[in-house]
A and B are shown apart, each in its own frame.
Chain A
Amino acid sequence: MAVIMVEGFDKYGPANSNSTSVTALMVGEWTTITAVNIAAPLSATGQAVTNGGAMTLTKTITAVGRIIGGVRFSSVLTQNIGVQFLDGASSQCGIQIAVTGIINLRNGFYTTGTILGSSASAISANTTHYLEWDITLGNSASYNVYLDGVSIISGTGDTTATANNTISGVSLQVAAGTNLATFDDFYLFDSTGSTNNAPLLTSPRIETTAPLSDSAVQFAIGASVLGGTVARTTTNFSTAANQFYVRPFTPSRACTINSISISVNATSATVNLRPVVYSDSSGVPGSLLSGGSTVTGITAATIATLPLTTPQSLTAGTQYWLGYMADIAVTNAFQAYDASAVGRTATSTFSSGAPGTAPSTTAGQTTVLLWGNVTLASAANFYEVSQSPPPAADTSYVADGTVSDEDLYNFANLSAVPASIYAVAVKAFCKRSDSGARTVSLRMKSSTTDGGGSSTGQTPATSYAWIGSNFETDPNGSIPWTGVNLNAATTGIKIDA
């Protein structure tokens, strides 16, 4: 093993200031997730992470005596940020990007430990750099810290603060504040193996791709969804008496919508809700397509699902309006989805039922976190597993319990064929349906060779979490990856036992 971890921070979806949601999305990939938000990327594609407070993002690893890695970063330089190397919960050493712009390697905690070395010059605020390290753990051990591919700190010294000459965790940290630092394109190597055992020094980046179509599927579709299910903001939306609320959706595939679900923030035992589906009429809701009977009561942190009396078929590429009617005001009843404010509201008497023609609505309303629970007109397993970000619940998934069954998907091409591919990781957001035994492996099929990478026979948790497997070489011949071969390879998941 040489690659311990690669993390592009792209798989958690668009910008997200709801740290609770982000934590749920990062489970499995990271061990400790505190005050992490998703931000625009520092490199070409995807996303990055920023701090939503005093940020700690820690990865627990198998103990190593030498740690190699890198991360792209940008800092406002108003708070300490850094990389902390941990032995259990104890600090061994850390790299500090101080508010002065000077970079320090310290024994112990990254902001207060004894300085082992400092950069000769300071970085400027809000500039993006690639920081790398090659640190041996010991009382008199070598260290080297690089900035943008150039060594800025090197020497020999005490890189440990515990009795162990190892680390078992790496943590990205921001001392305080909000949106004061951004991290992207993170990798960790150890010094074993014949490749990926030294700092890359090439401003490396991590590009994440997702399934585009099915290649060979055996898993069954468990649930399909229209719309995102993860809150990207912390704001809420209140119902009003006789409120009519809709927001637009455009399905990418033909489907039938069976019910509408809403993410609930507040409890009300008496509120009455009714789902509504309207056609689009020149950009506003038009005719009623389907409605449902009354559902009474909502409970905080529990999804409210409103069944449609008659499931409604939806055409791919056509805009529809999904929403609800409510009879009474409930303060902060529902979570907001994001800050787009594409909702529309009107006043419509609840007891009169869903109007056949939508009333005149007021635009610019909060985008409520609601979605459609659908059945695809034609099965497409890639659809369920390529929603972005991955749903944190059983709203969109495929499932299988038969040993040797395998789903393989065609993936999007890299944005450009790179000169070098150091490694590829496959990451899956998955779980077991119950506590029974079940193991899986993540697959990469290149030409006719189907491999499981660095980790097979993995047991998913009983709650959704990321599992991963590294493919440092192309399984077809165990040769270095090329962009062409990676683009052509299919990737998926297999039931091992």
Chain B
Amino acid sequence: MAVTQGRFSSVVREALNASTGQARLAGIVREALIVGVGLAGRISAQSSAKGAVTTTTAGVVLLGKIAATSSARASAQLRLNVAGTIKASATAAGYFLESASLAGRIATMSSGAMLRVGQVAVAGAITAQSKASAVVNLQVGGLKRQWGVTINTG
């Protein structure tokens, strides 16, 4: 008498698992919200910013009314702004400047001199003398990318 066989040609195990995938990280950064550098408000006598503090400063801003003399000097400085009314003289001198602007009313004399400047803008009313010179790159008003330009007015 034949014995009844059980035949199987395949066997598998199926496990019901919780699906917990991996976390994949392709990039990570830190973003720090930090202060710029500002000299703001009315300066009636003399305002000066110079030296190591601004050596690698990203932003220097002189805002408001400066009645006598305002001077900002830095090396390896990346950005410099002198804005507002300057009644006597304002000088901005820096090296390796990326961008600099002298904006607003300059009543007597404004001077900006720098090497390797990315952008220089002198805007607003200049009633006496304004001088801006740059070795690498200079933008004055609507003029862009002039090389070694010196402008004297008044």
Contacts and interface: CB of A to CB of B under 8 A. Distances in A.
Contacts of A207: 31-32, 34, 58
B24 A430 contact: yes
B23 A418 contact: no
Nearest to A398: B25
B130 interface: no
B92 to A, nearest CB: 15
Nearest to A424: B32
Interface stretch (B2-10, B77-85, B109-117, B146-154): B77-85
Nearest to B81: A148
B34 A390 contact: no
B36 A202 contact: yes
Interface in A176-230: 187, 200-211, 219, 222
A415 B23 contact: no
Contact of A148 (B24, B32, B63, B139): B63
A200 B56 CA distance: 21
A436 B59 CA distance: 47
B36 A437 contact: no
Contacts, number: 218
- Categorize the interface residue count of chain B: 35 or more
A420 B34 CA distance: 6
A205 B29 contact: no
Most buried by A among B21, B29, B55, B63: B29
A407 interface: yes
Contacts of B56: 415-416
B34 A205 contact: yes
Given A148-B61, A464-B26, A432 B21 contact: yes
A119 B28 CA distance: 40
A43 B103 CA distance: 18
Given A398-B24, A415-B58, A424 B31 contact: yes
Nearest to A6: B33
A158 interface: no
Nearest to B54: A416
Interface in B51-68: 55-59, 61, 63
B26 A416 contact: no
Say what secondary structure dominates the interface of chain B: strand
B12 interface: no
A79 interface: no
B16 to A, nearest CB: 13
A43 to B, nearest CB: 6
B121 interface: yes
A491 B131 CA distance: 48
Nearest to B17: A436
A32 B33 CA distance: 23
B30 interface: yes
Contact of B27 (A127, A386, A424, A460): A386
B15 interface: no
Given A204-B35, A414-B32, A429 B58 contact: no
Contacts of A6: 31, 33
Interface string B102-139: 01000000000000000101010000000000000001
Contacts of A304: none
Contacts of A219: 25
B91 interface: no
B21 A202 contact: no
A205 B58 contact: yes
B70 interface: no
Contacts of A495: 23
Given A127-B123, A205-B59, A464-B24, 7 more contacts: A203-B38, A206-B32, A206-B33, A385-B26, A401-B21, A436-B20, A438-B22
The 9 A-B pairs with the shortest beta carbon distances in the complex, nearest first, are A390-B27, A203-B36, A436-B19, A44-B58, A429-B27, A418-B34, A436-B21, A420-B35, A434-B21
13 contacts: A3-B33, A44-B59, A148-B83, A204-B34, A207-B32, A208-B31, A384-B25, A399-B23, A415-B58, A416-B58, A437-B21, A491-B30, A495-B23
